[in-house]
Structure 1
Amino acid sequence: MKLPGEFLDKMRMLLGNEEYQLFLESYNKPRYYGLRVNTLKVSVDKFLNISPFKLRPVPWTKEGFYYPEEENPGKHPYYHAGLYYIQEPSAMFPGTILQASPGERILDLCAAPGGKTVQIAAAMRGEGIIVSNDISSQRIKALVKNIELCGVKNAVVTNESPEVLAVKFKGFFDKILVDAPCSGEGMFRKDESAARSWEKYKSSKCAAIQREILESADIMLREGGYLIYSTCTFSPEENEIIIAEFIDKHSEYETVKIPNKNGVEPGRTDWCGGRKEIANAARLWPHKLEGEGHFTALLKKKGKDETSCLINNCIKKTNKRNGENNSQYNNKLQGILEIYRQFEEENLNIRLEGNFELRGNYLYVTPGNLPDMSGIKVIKPGLLVGSFRENRFEPSHSFVISLKKEDVKRTIDFKADSREIASYLKGETIMEIGMKGLTAVCVDGFTIGWAKQTGEYLKNLYPSGWRKMV
């Protein structure tokens, strides 16, 4: 592949001739392909027992595995059931270092297309709040789809600039991931278009944006919280130097040591004036391990370890929508919930609990204890349960993906290699006799979508925009 000459000159200067040759040779090797098991849907052990792929573990992520390119797991029914997420192996590293726990409040500030959000959400096991934000209105669509595909229940998706979010979320989050927009040098082997775009996204331009993002992240992180900064570039100006400058400006932060194992190397102190604390960061090099280029730094904000969320900032949002007063809204919500509960009694074996919110004709279950979100562009306030039309409830696709087979009264289960599941994913009608009513279609015991059983055949309810055309 053809790499920018200016980039090569810079890397030779940074690495020295001997290491530069090893670095350059890595571009003659094929890239690595990875998937990460989605433990919201299936355990790692169970997935390995049913997986048709030739997998070997990614050493820094216990849910991560390499797979041969020719196997193409993105076309397998298990992918459409949300059992795993396709992700470049090195990109799994920052989400692992974040060490999310159930009940925490976490912000993925530059989240699209969503790989790190769903990794964090799996570690949270549906408990707590994850706000998944991206400033790009184009990229937000992929973010929402991946969150829905993986059955994430506790994610709020926003489409805002970091500085706007900072006004609402002052001191709110326990942990913040800044997977910063960058010059993308670490992705050249994976994506040749990144190499062609390098001149457009110079380090100096990216570094200015990264500084602004970190300033907003600081405002939103509580005392005692953790800030994870990552990029997929080699440039010191976007990595070691950014972190050194941030610590100089914010003395309340300290770096936390990231273990150097499995080929992961420390941050380069010689590229930022000899700052010893920068060695606590991590470098993933394509000539040192099986993955692309990444940088990750873990920072702790000194202070009290208990939450420092401001009281006024944690008041629940008002139930006012589209000019309605609270009484009107609450009455409307109560009526809608009665219709939903009837649907639930007829079709499910569980009772859904949580903070219900109505947006137009759409019913959501949202995470509790969020600040007032007025003025924020909220794309997805939580789990979309379904919509209402003429006093009838229609469950969403994301809802069924979030359910287990045993949660639904009427199910039909097909093998992954069956003709029926292939037809279903194409949106075709399936000739199958069964009990009339709404039915969860499953693949080897995992929900993959809705269908309506007429008694003689299954009317396909798989979303048209998700259907496989091949």
Structure 2
Amino acid sequence: MAVVPALDPRPGEHVLDLCAAPGGKATDIARRLGGQGVLVANEPHPIRVRTLVENLERAGAPAIVTQALPHQLAAAVGVRFDAILVDAPCSGEGMFRKDPEARRQWQASSPASCARRQREILACALSMLRPGGRLVYSTCTFNPLENEQIVAWALDSFPVILEAIPLWPGWEPGRPAWVGDPDLTRRFAADIAHTRRLWPHKGVGEGHFVARFRLLQELPDGAGDRPVRRSEWRAARRHSSPSANLAEWRRAFAEWIDAGQVPAPWHEPLWRGPHAYAAPDTELLVRLEQARIRIHRPGLWLASQERGRLEPQHALAMAIPPHLAKQTAPLDEELAVQYLSGAPLPDLGQRGRTLVHLAGWPLGWGNGISGRTNNLYPKGLRRTDLLPLRGEKT
């Protein structure tokens, strides 16, 4: 998780997490953006991207979720992002201690094969970065082929510099002597010392490597093509065939949320069939659609049209602090465990959609009716193995 403070995403920025599954780093980026700016969370693998979507919605993290190879995404969006995270696929040597599967999958050819792929990914990522933008490259391997040598290659091939990352406890500088090539070692030894290694025998964690680049100028022969005209993205919005008109949306939204304190995209959602999303960058979505990039989520999933009426989605409940909900109900630990298991709750004194929470942390929606509160926690997230922590030392 140290790569996200190394990237330092700031409210209002356009940020790309290029290899985002399972989503822990993407949720932290979304938290740091604070609802201002744009987060694109991309994952090429069709199975892993589903986990990414689930985890982002579980955390209420607003993001555009795409499934594309790096070169496909670069060709679609061009130069666009202020900050990019490349947590690159690697040989996984740093995970051997805790993950037997990582040990079984490793082969003698793995580091060199991964290094070739990492160079391709890094080149695509840099082509999407704005001049002056930041890119954090990280791996969970010890191998210099995938770490210091990749960084030296990037310094030699692109108009980038390395910026120092704090020496957090247990971290050490990268090893210039491991660059391998004498000429690159001589030229970039001082820069390589700005990279960071985490050693599992010296700190709390496994084996990781982190480097932060800054792009000095736009790359030649960039991947971007012509700009999208406003008439095109307006046409795309019309083509989305909204299932509810704006007045209906505002009426329903006002029943659930104090609309005066939420981001602007929530007020005029983007519709995809019966589903409403807070789309942070409509022009970007048009580019992605024109390039036939698969979009799993065009933004935060707000609501859906069900049985002739609008119903709020779980992601919306998780995206807001409880005080913004029109109706809330606090739960103690026993009732929270009951709710997360999917069981109905007693009458909480509210009628209709109610955001239930534990000590100010949102849990999801309930529907208050006479005598009980129906449980609207998504079935796929329900847990029956939880116990209250009350009385335990934590």
Fold in common (TM above 0.5): yes
Aligned twin of 1:124: 33
Q: CA shift at 1:406, angstroms?
A: 1.6
The answer as to whether partners of 1:339 and 1:392 remain within 8 angstroms in 2 is no
Aligned twin of 1:291: 205
Aligned twin of 1:78: none
Structure 2: which 5+ runs fail to align? Answer: 386-394
The answer as to whether partners of 1:339 and 1:391 remain within 8 angstroms in 2 is no
Paired residues for 1:434-449 under 5 Å: 434-449=349-364
Q: Does 1:385 align with 2:302?
A: yes
The answer as to whether partners of 2:84 and 2:134 remain within 8 angstroms in 1 is yes
Q: Does 1:360 align with 2:273?
A: yes
The answer as to whether partners of 2:59 and 2:319 remain within 8 angstroms in 1 is yes
Where does structure 1 differ by over 6 angstroms across 4 or more consecutive aligned residues? 308-311
Please give the secondary structure, in 2, of the residue aligned with 1:298: strand
Indicate the RMSD between aligned Cα atoms, in angstroms: 2.2
Distance 1:389 1:380 in 2: 19
Distance 1:100 1:135 in 2: 22
The amino acid of 2:122's aligned partner reads: L
Aligned twin of 1:101: 10
Q: Which stretch shifts more, 311-320 or 450-459?
A: 311-320
Distance 1:160 1:342 in 2: 37
Paired residues for 1:243-322 under 5 Å: 243-250=151-158, 252-272=159-179, 273=181, 274=185, 275-276=188-189, 277-303=191-217, 312-313=226-227, 315=229, 318-320=233-235
Distance 2:7 2:228 in 1: 24
Distance 1:234 1:382 in 2: 36
Identity of aligned residues (%): 37
Distance 2:90 2:363 in 1: 35
Q: CA shift at 1:431, angstroms?
A: 2.4
Rate the CA distance shift 1:298–1:314 in 2: closer, same or farther, 3 A.
Answer: farther
The amino acid of 1:378's aligned partner reads: I
Q: Which stretch shifts more, 174-183 or 189-198?
A: 189-198
Aligned counterpart in structure 2 of residue 164 of structure 1, from 66, 72, 75 = 72
Deviations 1:326-370 (A, max 9, x none): 6565xx538433222221233333245315211111000111364
Deviations 1:76-131 (A, max 9, x none): xxxxxxxxxxxxxxxx1111111111111111100101111111111111111111
Rate the CA distance shift 1:297–1:345 in 2: closer, same or farther, 3 A.
Answer: closer
Aligned counterpart in structure 2 of residue 402 of structure 1, from 310, 319, 322 = 319
Rate the CA distance shift 1:380–1:433 in 2: closer, same or farther, 3 A.
Answer: closer
Q: Which stretch shifts more, 430-439 or 211-220?
A: 430-439
Rate the CA distance shift 1:328–1:257 in 2: closer, same or farther, 3 A.
Answer: closer
Aligned counterpart in structure 2 of residue 146 of structure 1, from 46, 50, 55 = 55
Aligned twin of 1:89: none
Aligned twin of 2:389: none
Q: Normalising by structure 2, what TM-score? A: 0.87
Aligned twin of 1:343: 252
Distance 1:445 1:243 in 2: 44
Structure 1: which 5+ runs fail to align? Answer: 1-91
Q: CA shift at 1:446, angstroms?
A: 2.2
Aligned counterpart in structure 2 of residue 202 of structure 1, from 110, 115, 130 = 110
The answer as to whether partners of 1:106 and 1:129 remain within 8 angstroms in 2 is yes
Q: Which stretch shifts more, 181-190 or 193-202?
A: 193-202
Rate the CA distance shift 1:327–1:462 in 2: closer, same or farther, 3 A.
Answer: closer
Q: Does 1:221 align with 2:129?
A: yes
The answer as to whether partners of 1:347 and 1:409 remain within 8 angstroms in 2 is yes
Aligned length: 366
Deviations 1:1-41 (A, max 9, x none): xxxxxxxxxxxxxxxxxxxxxxxxxxxxxxxxxxxxxxxxx
